Amino acid sequence: MFRPKLLVLAASLAVAGLANAALPASNPFAEVSKLPLNYPAFDKFSNDTYGPAFEEGMKEQAAEIVKIANNKAAPTFDNTIVAMERSGRLLDRVSSVFGNLSGANTNDAFEALNRELAPKLSAHSDAIRLNEKLYARIKALYDKRDKLKLDAESKRLLERYHTDFVRAGAKLSAADKEKLKAYNSQLAALSTTFSQNVLKEANASALVVDTRAELAGMSDKAIDAAAAAAKAKGMDGKFLIAVSNTTGQAPLEVLTNRSTRERLLATSLARGSRGGDFDNRDVVLKITKLRAERAALLGYPSHAAYQLEDQTAHDTSAVNKLLAELTKPAVNNARKEAADIQAVIDAEKGGFTNAAQDWAYYTDKVRQAKYAFDQNQLKPYFELDNVLHNGVFFAATKVFGITFKERKDLPVYHPDVRVWDVFDADGKQLAIFLGDFYARSNKRGGAWMNAYVSQSKLMGTKPVVANHLNIPKPSAGEPTLLTYDEARTLFHEFGHALHGMFSDVKYPRFAGTRVPRDFVEFPSQVNEMWMTWPEILNNYAKHYQTGAPMPKELLDKVQASAKFNEGFRTTEYLAASILDQRWHQLPADKIPTDVLGFESSVLKDAGIDFAPVPPRYRTTYFSHVFAGGYSAGYYGYLWSEKLDADTVEWFTENGGLSRKNGDHFRKALLSKGGTMDAMQMYREFRGRDAKIDPLLERRGLK
């Protein structure tokens, strides 16, 4: 995940009720950070520094935009497009920090300010995109773009600005522009509410257990941690299991008590739909209706049609076709896997039919039966520091020649955050990388990458990028042992970081991960492949106590089981993707009134209503699409995986892990950001369009 450049500009300061006083020099956002690469001065930020910085940042940028729009000189590329790229530096500084910390380290003041800012920022964005004088200048340049003798990146920048403005409503009538502003303001507020509800609901809906015996299967240390969590909430003598991001919950893999598993999954599934202050059902209906109405105003049959027009998929029919083609084979695979699970249950004389709460627990038993190992055998070989330094960083050095040096002198926003200087193959500093790996109650779920500073030749900046995961933090003195999925996520998110660090563009609009949503996951998914590449795995998969390498027989089992449980993984993902599309392909007059009823009917109609495999996200806690930037875009992970699987085949065909291959991938793709059409970029890298066969083979769907 990534954070695009924030275009929040105002034609009228009264719209947002901005202060008149300039930002005092004592505010840490008043000037560019003097720390290396403009690294944020986290030690100088406090809750009361953000609001004034946002206000002055909007005021400052508004004045810059008014000057551009009212310039009496004829529009030129420099006095219009480049001037816009240079605008809003203060607002960018505060937005990049606040936007990430509101997800990574939030508090009550942050949440209140977020709710206050959402409609103001929306109004400012509208003020620039709907500014008639400004659009007239852009259009005048666009209409004669072929005569301006611009280089390829500059010409694309002009074209993107024109597209951005048109899609934002620049051609609408004055009355329709007012309607659009109202839609955008309401949607900004509702998305913020949805996001905050998800976090609060996760903290409020933790499972409370009365006895230690009910947690059998969990380690003693994990049970002690559950007891401590309950005590901290004033429930001394009880045990508290927090729920996290996805429908599936990690303890389901080990809990032997079926009733506890059932209660935990039910708690997870009920999030956002059980009544109370954090119920998201009404929020979902309002968001969906407003998005549909806005799309209609802009001339599109649905929000999905509007969103997909600007993605590599281009239209809903292409996405629907992909999802439909994969649904039947995925569900068939899942049914076969369910039969294997049922066989184990029956052999143990369980006396019950496999259900969703049983899948994670019994699938490891199936894995043991088929491959004579379970996931827990891997954890001693997946210690966090070892995976990071001798796996993730080692692979990056091997493939791209970059090196890392941890530093302790730069300020951080939480003691768990770590910082590294990143050096290119020539020894020059390339970037700064932050790692925030542990879960916290004030940190949103999932994993993501963000840029505090983006690379730009125009601005003379180098990247400062961060990765965020939600790994449970062990007790003091205990090692952080990762699950297979957590290790894979570490590699995945670093792929996003590489995309940001390798950016080599002129304009901020194109830096790093500012590419179509259904393309942005491609580089990160490519980076996942190094996790099990033998020469990488052999370098980091060592026992955290003895240093002994992972036994070859265990390594062989990891490789042999690569497609294990792919039916489940693909089905739960497809179910969520289909829900996303169905909600966002609805016209405004077809929005249902029953969220869960609609969800059920969608899954049934799509042929993916297989009860043992619920969607990876249910509607009411699907933050990617109702609070993040992935609305009508969750399919993008699979779309990107088609490119990723084809790229893995290219690396294999060309000798695998080598600097030559890495340099080609970096030069042709990772460095270019959004400077050219994404699929053309892929064709120039690969020499042809991607084939789907490698993806089908990987997921066992052939």
Cα-based distances in Å from 310 to 57, 516, 613: 29, 7, 32
* Spatial separation of the C-alpha atoms in residues 499 and 286, rounded to whole Å: 35
Long-range contacts from 317-322, C-beta under 8 angstroms, 24+ separation: 319/581, 319/635, 319/639, 320/581, 322/635, 322/638, 322/639
Alpha-carbon distance 382 to 545, whole Å?
11
333 contacts: CB under 8 Å, gap ≥ 6: 566, 567, 570, 571, 700, 701
Q: Calculate the alpha carbon distances from 62 to 73, 90, 454 in Å.
A: 19, 12, 22
* Annotated catalytic residue, options 493, 521, 572, 641: 493
Length of the chain: 702
Question: What is the number of alpha carbons within 13 Å of residue 313 lying toward its C-beta?
Answer: 28
- Is 160:509 a contact under the CB 8 Å cutoff? yes
- Which two structure tokens, joined as six digits, stand for 306? 């509007």
Phi, psi angles (nearest 5°) of residue 347 = -65, -30
Cα–Cα distance between 600 and 620 in angstroms, integer? Answer: 13
Q: Cα separation of 323 and 639, whole Å?
A: 10
Ordered strands of the 418-423 beta sheet: 403-407, 418-423, 429-438, 464-471, 448-453
First to last CA, the chain: 29
Sign, Cα dihedral of 121, 126, 129, 134: negative
User: Would you call 73 helix, strand, or coil by DSSP?
Assistant: coil
The region, left, alpha or beta by phi > 0 then psi within -120 to 50, assigned to residue 620 is alpha
493 is known as an active-site residue? yes
Cα(558)–Cα(381) distance, integer angstroms: 12
- Phi-psi group of 317: left, alpha or beta (phi > 0 → left; psi -120 to 50 → alpha; rest → beta): alpha
Q: Are 509 and 157 in contact (CB under 8 A)?
A: yes
Q: Which residues are part of the catalytic machinery?
A: 493
